[in-house]
Amino acid sequence: MTTRFDAVLFDLDGTLTESHPGIMHCASLALGEMGLPIPDEATLRRFIGPPLWYSYTEFCGLTPEQAEEAVVRYRKHYRDGGFLECSVYPGILPLLDDLRAAGVKLAVATAKPAKMARAVCESFGILERVDFLSGNREDEKGMGKRGLIESACAGLGVPPGRAVMIGDTKYDREGAREAGTAFLGAAYGYGAPGELTGEGSLGEAASPDGLRSYLFL
């Protein structure tokens, strides 16, 4: 098979893995332990994608100090097993295998802390199929999405113009545009309608199998 790009970069949550059960559970546990109101399911789903501290301050109205404590509590629950409350989307592993067989370099570029992202990818058979993992610092205040994408391209040794970033939120699309890669929307993930199209976007796919028509010639 012939491909359109030399490298394909994937977001993790909402693109490779259906991760909302663990993220929402751990986010609500942290709030409950602090005696704070637990938001509705729609609000908790917005935690998927942005850095945790941002989600706690923007979506739950926590002060910076409260958000820092909530993140610490979240991390404990997530490390203790919350990260296993997810699954790989059907079709993802065969897609990674076919891209590798075609000679494409693969990376994960996620705002999730690198150590935890590595644990998730290793547990679900993703890590062995990619060439590089670009993740954040433990406090998630290191690189934005642009920096994560640039780091992944550098790690793969591929110019941004020969790579495509696949993700499910506007943060992925904007990061790809700023980094100079193409962008492909994973509309089966957690993004809001309409946020995956626009400048620099090749389009959006309703399923992992739908990504194939954009990646292979």
Same domain, 167 and 79: no
pLDDT of residue 195: 93
Interstrand relation of 87-88 and 17-18 (parallel, antiparallel or unpaired) = antiparallel
Please identify every residue annotated as catalytic: 11
Same domain, 147 and 98: yes
Domain count of the chain?
Answer: 2
**Residue 210 structural domain:** 7-18+87-215
**Residue 1, pLDDT above cutoff 90:** no
pLDDT of residue 85: 93
**Residue 138, pLDDT above cutoff 80:** no
Mean pLDDT, residues 116-130: 96
Last residue of a domain, one of 84, 110, 128: 84
The tokens for 194 are 């309409």
The pLDDT tens digits for 43-75 are 999 898 788 999 999 999 999 999 999 999 999
- Considering the domain boundaries, does residue 2 fall inside one? no
The pLDDT tens digits for 154-207 are 999 999 999 999 999 999 999 999 999 999 999 999 988 899 998 889 999 999
Q: What is the pTM of this model?
A: 0.89
**Residue 133, pLDDT above cutoff 90:** yes
Instruction: Spell out a b/e string for 107-117, using b for 16 or more CB atoms within 10 Å of the CB, else e.
Output: bbbbbbbbebb
Same domain, 144 and 68: no
Q: What is the CATH number of the domain that holds 11?
A: 3.40.50.1000
Query: pLDDT band at 113, cuts 50/70/90?
Result: confident
pLDDT of residue 141: 65
The tokens for 185 are 């929307």
Helix (H, G, I), strand (E, B) or coil at 39: coil
- Considering the domain boundaries, does residue 1 fall inside one? no
Beta bridge partners of 186: 205
**Residue 12, pLDDT above cutoff 80:** yes
Same domain, 118 and 66: no
- Considering the domain boundaries, does residue 42 fall inside one? yes
Please return the burial class of 48, using the count of CB atoms within 10 Å of its CB with bins 0-12, 13-18 and 19+: buried
Q: What is the CATH number of the domain that holds 46?
A: 1.10.150.240
Same domain, 160 and 191: yes
Residue that is written with structure tokens 């696949």 in the block: 166
pLDDT of residue 140: 61
Helices (H), the chain: 20-33, 41-45, 52-60, 64-79, 92-101, 114-123, 145-156, 170-179, 212-215
Same domain, 129 and 68: no
**Residue 217, pLDDT above cutoff 80:** yes
